[in-house]
Amino acid sequence: MKTIWKFIIAIWFLAWTTLGIFMYLDTPKQIDKDSKFKTQHIDPLVDSVRHFVTINKRIPTDNEFNKLKSSNDGELITKYTDLPDEFKDEVKIVDWDNDSYAIAIWRGEWNEGYISKNEKYILNNYSSTDGLTGLLIMISIGLLPTLLTLLNLKTNR
């Protein structure tokens, strides 16, 4: 029985470690993908809205914003209460005024975009450190049954 348990623990560890390694090796692709998302989706929307505001001296209506978009991506937000949580961390309600707006694009699990008030981009900012952290977490999960088994053996003696 102990041999089977050791085999199961080894497979568990190898599976989680392998998953962590693949995720870590994918980190440069994710960083590149995030960078391209900003330049291909967020920047064009920000430039279009800035241009519109400069020419018309006002924020576009929803209908006008929809005409500025080249795809279905993006939402123009003009009320602080409608901001996604990721954005509220970057601007205070007291700083929000009638000329403030945000552009948010849903990435499947989080929003990315731009806040006009402080000209700040809200991005994933995935980095090599995040990839390494993910690898270490996966290895830790893989080691968990081993550590619990050793702890159990120690307490049973």
Percent of the chain with pLDDT over 70: 96
Tens digit of pLDDT for each residue in 78-118?
A: 999 999 988 988 888 888 888 899 999 998 888 999 999 88
Give pLDDT, residue 129.
Answer: 93
Does the structure show a pLDDT above 70 at 21?
Answer: yes
- What's the whole-model pTM score? 0.74
- At 151, is the pLDDT very low, low, confident or very high (cuts 50, 70, 90)? confident
Q: Which of 157, 154, 153, 143 is nearest to 13 (CA)?
A: 143
Does the structure show a pLDDT above 80 at 134?
Answer: yes
- Following DSSP, what letter does each residue of 13-52 receive, concatenated? HHHHHHHHHHHHHTHHHHHHHHHHHIIIIIHHHHHHHHHH
Residue with tokens 């981009």: 121
Does the structure show a pLDDT above 70 at 43?
Answer: yes
